[in-house]
Structure 1
Amino acid sequence: MDVTNEVHSNSVLRELNEQRGRAELTDVVLEVEGRSFPCHRAILASCSPYFRTMFTSGYAEVKQERISIQDVSGVAMATILDYAYTGRLQMEPDQVQAVMSAARLLQVDFVGRKAAEYMKDRLDVSNCVDVLMYADMLADCGLVEASKRYMASRFDQVALQPSFVQLPLNLLQSLLGRDDLMTNSEDNVVQAALRWVDFNQEERLQHLSTLCKSLRWSLISTKLCVEIESKLLSTDSNIVYSNSTTQRLGQVRTELQVFLRAGILEQYSDDECSALCYDPSTGRLYAMNMPEKLDSFSRSVTVTPDNELYMAGDIVTSRETGMDDRQKKFYQYNHLLNTWEPRCGMIAPRYSCGLVYLKGYIYAIGGDDTTETAERYDPSCDEWTSIPPLPHPMSSEFCVVTLDDSIYFISKDGCYSFNTIENKWSKIADMFQPTEHPQAVTYRGSIYCIDCNERCGDSSCVQMYNPTTGEWKMTGKYYYFFDTATLMTYAKTMYLLTVHSGDDKEFDTDQNGSCTTLDIRQYQPNTDSWWSLVKECRQVPPLAWWLNSSSRTKCLTVRMIPMCLGYLKAYESDYYGVGRRRNESYRSGSSDDSDTDTLSDQEDSDEDNSDQDRLSGSDDGDIMEDFYYSD
């Protein structure tokens, strides 16, 4: 008979731990910072090479009943002994470094590794310098590099931290030499170096010439070059700069279109936690990672003029209970690491709130239980404060945009503006055609809005609000049929993207046998019309499928780093396979019927305006044609 008792090992450990608690059958007592820990030598030796060597190599401790352990805190020893007897590691955040140091000394590798991973996962602007110096002291290469990489990803902010000037010369020099510093200019790197020197100029001025070897002379302003030279004159040191002409990573970002979807109708499991990023210059797709377990995030992401992305937490469905749990979570995107870092949680839990940036602050509007409260986030101090609520409870379907000094809230229940100077809400005119699923952008001093989800089969038009006249009006002459629509601005031009699904035998279809088409219209402000770009080129994989897999899509223009982004696995085969064949069909002149209810000869006539008319109405002509149809 060959039978295994699956619970035997756990039972033995549990009994030994209980014996330890009663000091029963223990054969050694560890003395740590005045605390006594009765233990079993066999347990200690089995978990720690340090103790195994102590008890088996003829040292004096072999015969001692009480052994004093130096350089280990009592709390850290208690944590490691609990792990040794239970296999479970528990420690408070403020004890992680002490536990890691003790684990290194006692050679408990699992504990040391998990402590290091814990610190890696919780690096932030305030602690990364201290973690780097600690990791360097322990010679933990992995934690050292993780700390440096995080510092590079937030360099401009880290350089202003009080702990930055405490860096030893060798660590500072290696940091300043990195190509992946996320900084807007080389001058910021120089100023960080000078700030470090000026903290203790008497001792550190002699090291300025050493630091110059990490500074890229060709990218430094003349003013700072003169300042460096004036400081070095007093030290009789020769200036030797880095001969690298490569810009830091933060200076070579590419302008991408980031498409954020919500209410996902058709989900690809591999890409559930990704947002699509499209490079207009190459037509390539990239994936921006999104936090896990967030069901919807299209309205709840905003971008600042400095290309910082912020996201408000959203509803999470518990796998255990199947219940919805509203979140207060708030994140900031890390461009270098392609991750979202937690920031101060919102005051109220919100579901798909309206999130916008305006003049140094982030505003979260609605999405709470009352669908009317609002709050404001200050990035400089990582704090939220409440602002006046909306005058009335609103529908959960709404959109929020900013224009000048005001925030505009748009829904079928009414439209309001919040003046950030006067700190109050005001009623504005209702749309002449209420929208169930509004999506809006601001363009040339006005607000443009469309019902972005028309799966019920109704038609929709783009409505424009002029804050000067306080009126809404229809843009263009036509209503459009579509499944989903997205308004977006790019390169000083506005576009309308409409997606329609149907059967089409002339083109390849998706896995459900339907053909997904994307129509792109460019707004002509001088003629108040929408010009259809390359009408015969409707089928644009894989962007059409992506947009049609969501009931709402928001598009942001963000300067990002393509090499730091991932790729969309689910679309890879389509983009380089089926998508390639479809692109060939574009060039052969294939076309389909219009998805517009009044696209007639009259509209064709309107759209076939001269090139001069087109260019007079748009700043960038048909730039989107290249944007969407390039390989």
Structure 2
Amino acid sequence: MGEIIGSISDVVYRGIRDLWEQDACTDFEIETAGKTFRCHKVVLAAVSDYFRAMFNSGMKETELNKAKFEDISTDTFETLFSLIYSQNHIEDDHLKQKSEEEMTELLNVAGRLQISFLKDICINHFESTMSTNNCVERWKAGQLFLCDDVREFAWEYILEHFDEIANDDILMTLEFEDILKIISDEKLKVSNEETVWRTIKKWVNTELDKRLEHFVSLLRECRLVAIDKNYLTDKIVFDHLVRKNDEASDMVRDAVRYNCHPSLHGNVELKFRACQKKKISTVVLQKNIDNIKETPETKFMPRVKDLPKIQVKCIQSVYSPWSTWPILTTVEDNIACCTHGNSVYVTGGRKGSLKEFKTSKMKWVSRSDMVAPLTGHTMVATDGYLYVIGGRSGYDPNANVYVWSVEDRGEWRIDGDIMAPVIGASSVALDDKIYIFGGELGRQPADCVQLYDTKTNSGTIFCNLPAPCQWSRALCRGTDAYIVSSCGDVVTVDIEECTSKHIASIPDFDRKNFGVVLKQGKMHIFGGKDLSDTKQLLATSLPLKEPMNSDSEDETPVFAKSLKEINMTEKTAVSDVYIIDVNSGEVKNGAALPVPVEVLGCVNVIHSVALD
């Protein structure tokens, strides 16, 4: 039966073709600038939604049985009718002889006259014959004629073969928006980022007077940090386009500093392309609450000495999926951390342990223990060295600054002293100077910003904070430090100007051990340990220390409730997220985290995507 129907279809098709070739029963004319084609309404209506609508609308073309298309070439209609009436769309090898302009016009006509089979033919042709010589023009044609298939095929080809296309002058004809779209795509595949720089430079210089204003916008999308530092200094730093623009000079200078200074890697916002197989992520050292919860089964078990307590998470943003990295063992909750190059360093614990997380091998490695175990300390990195500052050793505040060489990996040594031995402070490092913010000094919150100079091994007071700050998180962008205190104050310190400024206040914020991420001017403050209930309980349950009686030498304090009871009442973690615009000071509530998180440390690190 199927064969019979197929035979009937062939008979009908051959009959229509014969009628057209003999100019028999034709009832419609299409007039172009060079020729008039006679055809059949029923055939046009069968293949074109455009003509079907025309014939059913009572338009004048229907009454006159004629339509004019002076802007469509005669050759295009000859090809179209050849495909319709001669079944050549089944064997369309002759289309390969068509020029790029002719095929582009066929695509235009297919969309304009709503001829789906012709559109499919054009799409298949463009996909099978895509090359470095035509992909840019086809991408533009797909945009112009609203053909998503052609546009997407061409776009993927451009991204995949940019190294070859970059040498073609066709890129120089693109508008600013188009060249920006190409070089800003994370999936752009290049053998090295120098190719992107050369493309930007060539495009701008092609019409310097008109395009110079776009240079900085394009340079922002060049991954300068992925360029070899010798190429940066030899070819880019002194380029005339860079030297004449302060912002461009700053970007190139920062890229050179990044390449030369591994201590800066955690303090810059970086973008890498997929082909570079790197990314910068935020590493969150999270208290492993589930592991330390007391259960009936574990209540009377002996304490496990090396009980793992710190989970390690890798995030791209607060709301992106959190990847789990190897857990950190043998270090207690009170830690300090920083990054140097592609490694994360953590100090803390009863032994003053130093742990290095090597992202190249995805594992923790033990390094030299500190001279004396500390709690409430802060840690930063300068080029080649780690510094531990402040905190307390036992009950005694620590004024010493300890240093450890990343290259030599020897013993910790005392490098110098800070002026005020603070506990619970935060810090950042810029070049060879370390800035320490607030902290607890003599049981009172401090309002000073201390400066420790690693070259002179001396500490001074740098400036004052707008208000005392007992516990905080700090991070650095450029020459600005951003500090978030446990009471919700957000402050910026301009390190070049030696000034501090209050940015915002988070309402009803009273916590510590929260995480801070800053990207594109937005600061996300997430999780933490709520302190409000604990303070209230301490105020009502822990009176000042008094002796049992005036004659007794026993000065053991008397508590209304035991410390164990207080710790059991204390909240462990919260899931709130606050979003702060560091430019306007606007504070918003973000969506809560899926689970409460107590953040013991939070740093940025560069790592390989293959290890995710």
Shorter-chain TM-score tier: 0.3 to 0.5
Which has more radius of gyration? 2
Give the alignment's TM-score, normalised by structure 1.
Answer: 0.37
Give the alignment's TM-score, normalised by structure 2.
Answer: 0.38
